[in-house]
Amino acid sequence: MSSVSSSLPRSLPRNPVGGHVPVAGGLHSVGLSYAHELKAETVQVFVANPRGWATPAGNPKQDEAFRAACAEESVPAYVHAPYLINFGSHTEATVEKSVESLRHSLRRGREIGALGVVVHTGSATGGRAREVALKQVREHMLPLLDELTQDDDPFLLLESTAGQGASLCSRTWDFGPYFEALDAHPKLGVCLDTCHIFAAGHDLTGPAGMNQTLDLLVETVGEGRLKLIHANDSKDVVGAHKDRHENIGLGHIGEEPFRALLNHPATAGVPLVIETPGGKEGHAADVARLKRLRDS
């Protein structure tokens, strides 16, 4: 075991806290080195260019080293699929590329031992009705879920958007029709992004804001479906429909709602991944801040 991986936490806390880590230059050698510097207890990575359609094969040696280190040190790992994926697109080529790209992310997720693959829920482009787009989601995404038959296959985690344009899923109740379209597949879960849900219109501030939002989510998708949290503050006010992340406690959500999130029954055992500004120094500070809120 390398000095990098042996420095990572060995026990799994109630809510592992970590971040999205860069992997250019090596999934294990670079990604886990960055995680070590953040004192991360969980990690999220890209396995392809997030703004492209390429589906690289990966490096088997790095894959195995990364998988082994995460397993030995009890560090849950997640993959974020490329941003271009949209199963609600009116363009046939985009849908076909979305299938190929998401299948690649799921396969690579399994190869590196990821527990889940996060994908944005997309939008109904071309002026079509949401119902038409969701029918298309079912046609093309459900077969991918049905391919997840192995015990070590990752979950597919739906991440709602900030509500821009013709978003298919931005408010908590939007997960309902999405889950129905996919038959509430057993390999389907939710990645809740606090900035996105706030920007979409859920006021997480005040004494009950976060609790009410999490209660609504559980009512909509059921218990145990929340598998990952993207913990991000927001540069913009509630309902602004702008996806602009801020460091924890420095935005319009503020620090206290994250304490409420960490204490809610629905988040027990659910890892938190930050995607905040500020580079390594800002990321390390946000990881430390969330740990303090968790442990206080």
CATH number at residue 76: 3.20.20.150
Query: Kindly report the CA angle at 139 between 136 and 143, in degrees rounded to 5?
Result: 140
The token duo for 220 is 């909509």
Which has more pLDDT, 144 or 4? 144
In sequence order, what are the residues at sequence separation of 6 or more whose Cβ sits closer than 8 angstroms to the Cβ of residue 109? 47, 78, 79, 116, 117, 153, 154
pTM for this structure? 0.94
Q: pLDDT (tens digit, 9 = 90+) per residue, 46-91?
A: 999 999 999 999 999 999 999 999 999 899 999 999 999 999 999 9
Residues of the chain above pLDDT 70, percent:
96
- Please name every residue paired with 190 in a beta bridge, in sequence order, or none if there are none: 158, 226
The token duo for 118 is 């996060």
The pLDDT-based confidence of 165 (bands split at 50, 70, 90) is: confident
Q: pLDDT (tens digit, 9 = 90+) per residue, 226-281?
A: 999 999 999 999 999 999 999 999 999 999 999 999 999 999 999 999 999 999 99
Lowest model confidence (mean pLDDT) among 20-29, 45-54, 167-176, 260-269: 20-29
pLDDT above 50 (res 8): no
- Residue ranges making up the domain that contains 151: 3-295
Which has more pLDDT, 192 or 1? 192
Positive or negative, the CA dihedral 225, 231, 237, 242 is negative
Give me the helices (H) in 129-171, please. 130-146
The pLDDT-based confidence of 218 (bands split at 50, 70, 90) is: very high
The pLDDT of 142-146, averaged and rounded, is 98
In sequence order, what are the residues at sequence separation of 6 or more whose Cβ sits closer than 8 angstroms to the Cβ of residue 212? none
The token duo for 119 is 């994908």
Q: Are 157 and 189 in contact (CB under 8 A)?
A: yes
Number of domains observed in the structure of the chain: 1
Q: pLDDT (tens digit, 9 = 90+) per residue, 97-106?
A: 999 999 999 9
